[in-house]
Chain A
Amino acid sequence: MSDSYPPRGATGDPVLEIEGLTTEFATPGGVVTAIEDVDLTLRAGETLGLVGESGSGKSVTALTAMGLLEDNGRRAAGSVRLNGRDVTALSGNELSGVRGSEMAMVFQDPMTSLTPVVTVGTQLVETVEHHLELSGEAARQRALELLETVRLPDPQAAFDAYPHELSGGQRQRVLIAIAVSCDPDVLIADEPTTALDVTIEAGVLDLLEELAAERGMSILQITHDLGVVAETADRVAVMYAGRVVETGAVENVFGAPRHPYTAGLLRSTPRLDDVEPELLAGTVPEPGDRPAGCSFAPRCPHAAEECRGEDPPLAPVEGGDRRAACVRTAALGPLDPEPDAEGTDAPAPDSGGAPVVAGDGLERRYRSAGSLVERLLPGGEPPLRAVDGVDIELRRGETLGLVGESGSGKTTLGRLLVALEEPTAGEVRFDGEPLSAVPEAELRGRVQFVFQDPGSSLNPRQTVGTILGTAVEHHATHDGAVDERVAELLAEVGLGPETARRYPHELSGGQKQRVGIARALAPRPDVLIADEPTSALDVSVQGQILALLDRIRAERELSMLLVSHDLSVVRAVASRVAVMYLGRVVEVGGTDRVFEEPLHPYTEALLSAVPRLRPENRRERTLLDGELPDPRDPPTGCNFASRCPKAFEECHANDPALADVEEGSVACLLHSDETRD
């Protein structure tokens, strides 16, 4: 399919030119400049990746260009030209004419972008009637065609559905259909796949690529995910603290970055390859709190005296349209995008380790809460099988990665193992004893949990000192004063003692997660279960938290279960991996083996869907058909058979059991004949 694409780095005419764009926001603390002097050029038919961590100003850039700023924001300087016309000079009405017909936008959250009370079809027809001046049957036909264009398997069904009846991926496709309905020249996609699972993300990215090629549409792809840029963009612009710091063809920028921030970002991103991600210390400064001189200088490993003087402009390097904003570009030369260290997956799978926490035939079913009458009557909706017969072992001293997409039951399994939920069937054993035989105090002291969202896992009304002090006192693990022990815990997670006086909302996301980890360490546990501990954090902060967890595990000889949807994260930290699909564990094995020679077709598809950081070897992704089946009504036979590219007849009849193979275990009829009864 790639034959029909215009050549990479096509030098078509510019369609969208942003020059010297500066945007300010009014805040209670005064006016802050969110983006400053941003230059971007999007040429006909190309995809420009706009990448940066949160707070870098990438979304503000897009919103300013679209004229969609909230009332407290304004464009202070600069111009936005669309097909040669300055859109900043247009009136509100003229601008809404331009939006939709020449420039359209797709947002991150497909649920809130659609009206929940109106069917998808009606919303599409409205758009078509408004912009294309079609009506009645013609508009309906056009809407159906659009749904077909975005490869929805059953356009008629989607047409009649309400937004909540579609999956996240399907909703995102509907939004894309609305966005391309008027054949815009420019599509601004703001994190279009961030809320989606990797296998679904791959499909949506492919769709965008195909649509762009078919319609000669240019795409401004805004994302925090370097892999997405590497896989889809022709050119890339890297933003940091409100400025573009490097721009150029994606192969050049990712292959030989010229700005230390680009290099740092690339080196700190966890990869599927066996390399140790490096640390990029510090965080993006808040707008209004940016340092004098180069904003990156305080975090830059190459910073020199000259960096603290003036903010360097985006200047050409190497000719062409390659540009970087660094005073030391010439002195530094091209930088290495890959971390030096080989993977050091600490204690390789120590198969001799005794299991600390084990689940035996664990099952957790949820019934949708109906009325009293419904609950008493037989029949009704079948229960949702969140965890459907799982055997799992966490061995002493290891880090076990538990991966799966949303809806696979990995979080529920984690919660079952710390007794935050009761299993419907099966048993959790702790040190060989059933949980019911372990006293509550001992269990809570020895098994601890790190939560996904550090924002909501800390009580907003308590200071950090109170949060940690309560835990320390409760477990009576202190010899001296509580305050001293709190300071000790804070120091262990890399925070100063003054943090104890702060409230959670005064901390950054990474600092909050550090406090969450400190709280989990307060009882001196043996086992740490971390549920997506970094999914709410930026790449560089994610690296810092993972390194912290890994160091603590090693120092305290903890056993850790790391639940994550992100395969690269698991690769970087885990010594063994368990892969979940639809409530079951389908494959278990040593990290290197699972990532290099996956046995289960689902593991294979999952790995293939992860966007890679090397734009030079883009490859065809193994796309999975369709969506995750309804966990209330899983398919008969192997529950992956409905999407499996390798499924044969028997798979639809026989349900494979997790069977031991040479290195690990797998539940697939290709590798073992064992079936579940």
Chain B
Amino acid sequence: MSASTGRTARAWRSLRADRAAVAGLAVVSGVVALGALTFLDAALFDRGLIAAVYYDPTSPAFAPLQPPSPAHPFGTDTLGRDVLARVLYGAKVSVRVAVTAVTVAAVVGSLVGVLAGYSGGAVETVAMRAVDVLLGFPALVLAIGVVAALGFSLTNVIVALGIVYIPQFARIARSSALAESEQAYVDAARVQGYSRRHIVLREVLPNALSPLLVQASLLMAFAIIAEASLSFLGLGVQPPTPSWGGMVSTGADYLTTAPWISLFPGLMIFVTVLAFNLLGDGLRDALDPRESPERRF
């Protein structure tokens, strides 16, 4: 074992041995790359890139309700826009919502949870009861409430989901911080006289990170579904910006006559969510030291 191999290297080896997780990772990477690419395209070139190589996802330039054909592999929608172009562009919204909302929730939730778990006492009671209150509402209902209060926009969807997912991280962070705080290295840090800030951020948090990472990847899947649900209800991204949930929603009236309008964005949601789940499960196994990749006779 060379000097630099740590737990990370071992976890990576173990993750690579899990074929489902590798498939999940591949799909997730693809979707995230697609999201990043479309985001840059929209921000820098005003959709010039995709229009140059394919079609503009927002301009109704074709005959409406065409079934899939070589010219339009996923068909066209009610307004005559290319479904494939819109599905590709939908990744922009889904990825942005999932990544930002979960990151916000993870950062806030983990800090609250780790601080509560390490400090105990009044800090813990107040923080965890607040988390319990948040958890008392069904996630989607709370998100709808927040969006309704703040207004219908993509940013508000992200804010709403960010708030809704805080408790998930706070709880996990607290319980793993509680377990880590029992370890002698935390006492050792106290004997050295390190500040509470140092102990929480540099000693406890890095050791409490594995379960949070797993939770983050699983919640990405939930966030994509939640965004799709909100868009389906008309609370999320406003037209003509394409989003997978919004596309499923507009296609719902044409399910019998033009199923491709809902089918392809629906498939994307399904595949992406499945991929995040597979990756999350794989991470859970890889990061758990008890699941060592021992061979058997």
Interface, chain A (partner B; CB < 8 A): 26-28, 71-74, 418, 420, 440-441, 443-445, 448-449, 451-453, 456-462, 470-471, 474-475, 498, 501-503, 505-506, 516, 519-520, 522-523
Interface code B180-191, partner A: CB below 8 Å = 1, 0 otherwise? Answer: 000111011111
Question: Does the CB pair A519–B188 fall under 8 Å?
Answer: yes
A456 interface neighbour in B185, B190, B292, Cβ under 8 Å: B185
B188 touching A523, Cβ below 8 Å: no
- What are 5 residue pairs bridging A and B, where the CB atoms are less than 8 Å apart in the complex? A444-B192, A457-B184, A506-B5, A519-B192, A523-B192
Contact of B203 among A440, A459, A522 (CB under 8 A): A459
Point out which of B1, B184, B187, B194 has the most chain A C-beta atoms below 10 A from its C-beta: B184
Task: Check A459/B185 contact, CB under 8 A, given A471-B192, A474-B194, A501-B4.
Answer: yes
Docked Cα-Cα span, A453 to B293, in Å, equals 26
Q: Does B7 make an interface contact (CB < 8 A)?
A: yes
Q: A28-B294, A71-B297, A459-B203 in contact; A449/B188 too (CB < 8 A)? A: yes
Q: Indicate if the CB atoms of B185 and A27 lie closer than 8 Å.
A: no
**A457 vs B4: C-alpha distance when bound (angstroms):** 21
B6 within 8 A of A: yes
Residues of A within 8 A of B290 (CB): none
Q: Which 10 A-B pairs have the closest CB atoms?
A: A444-B193, A457-B184, A26-B295, A461-B206, A456-B184, A459-B185, A501-B3, A449-B191, A451-B184, A71-B296
B-side contacts of A520, CB under 8 Å: 191
The number of chain B residues touching the other chain, given as a range, is 20 to 34
In the bound complex, residues from chain A placing their C-beta under 8 Å from that of B202 are: 470
B192 and A474 within 8 A (CB): yes
Query: Which B133-188 residues sit within 8 Å CB-CB of chain A?
Result: 183-185, 187-188
Q: Does B241 contact A (CB under 8 A)?
A: no
Q: Distance (Å) between the CB of B294 and the closest chain A CB?
A: 5
- Measured in the bound complex, the distance between the Cα atoms of B4 and A74 in whole Å is 32
B297 — which chain A residues lie within 8 A by C-beta? Answer: 26, 71-74
B238 at the interface (CB under 8 A from A): no
A contact patch SS: mixed
- Report yes or no: B191 in contact with A418, Cβ–Cβ below 8 A: yes
CB A107 to nearest CB in B, in angstroms, measures: 20
* Given known A420-B190, A498-B3, A502-B3, contact A28–B293 (CB-CB < 8 A): yes
Chain B residues with CB under 8 Å of A453's CB are 184
Which chain B residue lies CB-closest to A71? B296
Instruction: Find A457's partner among B1, B187, B193, B296 (CB 8 Å cutoff).
Output: B187
Nearest CB of B to A245, in Å: 28
Q: Chain A residues near B207 (CB, 8 Å)?
A: 459-461
Name the interface residues of B189-230: CB closer than 8 Å to any CB of A. 189-194, 202-203, 206-207
Which B residues touch A443, using CB under 8 A?
193
Q: Which chain B positions have C-beta within 8 A of A28?
A: 292-295
Closest chain A CB from B176 CB (angstroms): 13
12 extra A-B contacts, CB within 8 A, seeds A449-B188, A459-B203: A28-B295, A72-B294, A72-B295, A444-B192, A457-B187, A459-B206, A459-B207, A461-B206, A498-B3, A502-B3, A503-B7, A519-B188
Contact A457 B295 (CB under 8 A): no
Residue interface bits B1-23, CB-to-A below 8 A is 1, else 0: 10111110000000000000000
The reply to whether A458 and B185 form a contact with Cβ atoms under 8 Å apart is yes
Give the residue among A418, A474, A516, A520 with the most B Cβ atoms within 10 A: A474
Nearest CB in chain A: distance from B119 CB, A: 16
Give chain A residues whose Cβ lies under 8 Å from the Cβ of B292: 28
Q: How far is the CA of A457 from the CA of B296 in the complex (A)?
A: 33
Cα–Cα, bound, A475→B207 (Å): 24
Q: List, in ascending order, chain B residues with CB within 8 A of A441's CB.
A: 193
Residue of A nearest to B3 (CB): A501
A445 lies within 8 A of B193 (CB): yes
Residues in chain B near residue A26, CB distance under 8 A: 294-297
Q: What is the CA–CA distance of A456 and B182 in the complex, to the nearest angstrom?
A: 10
Chain B residues in 8 Å Cβ range of A474: 192-194
Residues of B within 8 Å of A420, CB to CB, are 187, 190-191
- Best-surrounded residue of A457, A502, A516 (most CB of chain B within 10 A): A457
User: What is the CB-to-nearest-CB distance from B260 to chain A, in angstroms, rounded to a whole number?
Assistant: 48
In this complex, the member of B190, B192, B207, B293 whose beta carbon has the largest number of chain A beta carbons within 10 angstroms is B192
Inter-chain contacts of B191 with A (CB < 8 A) = 418, 420, 444, 448-449, 520
Other-chain contact of B294, A27, A74, A449, A506 (Cβ < 8 Å): A27
B203 to A, closest residue via Cβ: A459
Which A residues are in CB contact (< 8 Å) with B185?
A: 456-460
Cβ contacts under 8 Å, B188 to chain A: 449, 451, 457-458, 516, 519
Complex-state Cα separation, A26 to B292, whole angstroms = 12
Q: How would residues 255 to 297 of chain B score, 1 for a CB under 8 Å from any chain A CB and 0 otherwise? A: 0000000000000000000000000000000000000111111
List chain B residues, Cβ under 8 A from A73.
297
Q: For residue A499, which residue of chain B has the nearest CB?
A: B3
Task: Note all chain B residues with C-beta closer than 8 A to A452.
Answer: 184
Q: How far is the CA of A506 from the CA of B293 in the complex (A)?
A: 18
A561 → B minimal CB distance (Å):
14
Assess the B193–A440 pair: CB atoms within 8 A.
yes
Contact partners of B294 in chain A: CB under 8 A:
26-28, 72
A476 to chain B, nearest CB (A): 12
Query: Looking across the interface, which residue of chain A has its beta carbon closest to that of B185?
Result: A459
Chain B residues lying within 8 Å of A506, measured Cβ to Cβ, are 1, 3, 5
> Given the complex of chains A and B, what is the CA–CA distance between A452 and B187 in angstroms?
12
Q: Which residues of B contact A519 (CB under 8 A)?
A: 188, 192
Shortest C-beta distance, A494 to chain B (Å), equals 19
Chain A residues whose CB sits within 8 angstroms of the CB of B4 once the complex forms: 501
Find the residue from B1, B190, B206, B295 having the highest chain A CB count within 10 A.
B295
**Minimum distance in angstroms from A33 CB to a CB of chain B:** 13
Among A420, A451, A459, residue most surrounded by chain B Cβ atoms (within 10 Å): A459
In whole angstroms, how far apart are the Cα atoms of A445 and B296 in the complex? 50
From A27, A456, A470, A516, give the contact of B295 (CB < 8 A): A27
Interface string of B117-134 (1 = CB under 8 A from A): 000000000000000000
Residues from chain B with Cβ under 8 Å of A458 in the complex: 185, 188
A516's closest neighbor in chain B, by CB?
B188
User: For residue B190, which residues in chain A have a CB less than 8 angstroms away from its CB?
Assistant: 420
Q: Which of A72, A449, A475, A502 has a CB less than 8 Å from the CB of B296?
A: A72
The chain A residue sitting closest to B193, CB to CB, is A444
Cα of A443 to Cα of B193 in the assembled complex, Å: 9
Assembly CA distance A217 to B188 (angstroms): 48
CA distance A107 to B224 in the complex (A): 51
How far, in angstroms, from A505 to B7 measured CA to CA in the complex? 9
Chain B residues numbered 25-43 whose CB sits less than 8 Å from any CB in chain A:
none
A367 CB, nearest partner CB in chain B, Å:
15
Q: Which A residue's beta carbon lies closest to that of B186?
A: A459
Q: Which residue of A lies closest to B192 (CB)?
A: A471
Instruction: Tell me, rounded to whole Å, the shortest Cβ–Cβ distance linking B132 to chain A.
Output: 16
Q: Looking at the assembled complex, report how far the CB atom of B99 sits from the nearest CB atom of chain A, in whole angstroms.
A: 25
| Residues of B contacting A459 in the complex (Cβ-Cβ under 8 angstroms) | 185, 189, 203, 206-207
Q: How far is the CB of A435 from the nearest CB of chain B, in Å?
A: 13
Closest to A26 in B: B295
Residues of A within 8 A of B206 (CB): 459, 461-462
Chain B nearest Cβ from A289, distance in angstroms: 11
A71 to B206, CA, bound (A): 33
* Min C-beta distance of A92 to chain B, whole Å: 15
Selected contact of A451 from candidates B3, B187, B193, CB within 8 Å: B187
> Which residues from chain B contact A503 at a C-beta distance below 8 Å?
6-7
Q: Nearest chain A CB to B221's CB is how many angstroms away?
A: 27
Rounded to whole angstroms, the CA-CA distance of A522 and B7 in the bound complex is 27
A441 CA / B185 CA spacing, docked (Å): 19
A459 to B6, CA, bound (A): 13
CA distance A38 to B215 in the complex (A): 49
Assess whether B7 is in contact with A460, with CB atoms less than 8 Å apart.
Answer: yes
Complex Cα distance, B79 from A522, in Å, reads 72
A471 vs B206: C-alpha distance in the bound complex, in angstroms? 18
Q: How far is the CB of B290 from chain A (nearest CB, A)?
A: 14
Complex: chain A residue closest to B294, CB-CB: A72
Expressed in whole angstroms, the minimum distance between the Cβ of A255 and any Cβ of chain B is 41
Chain B residues with CB under 8 A of A440:
193
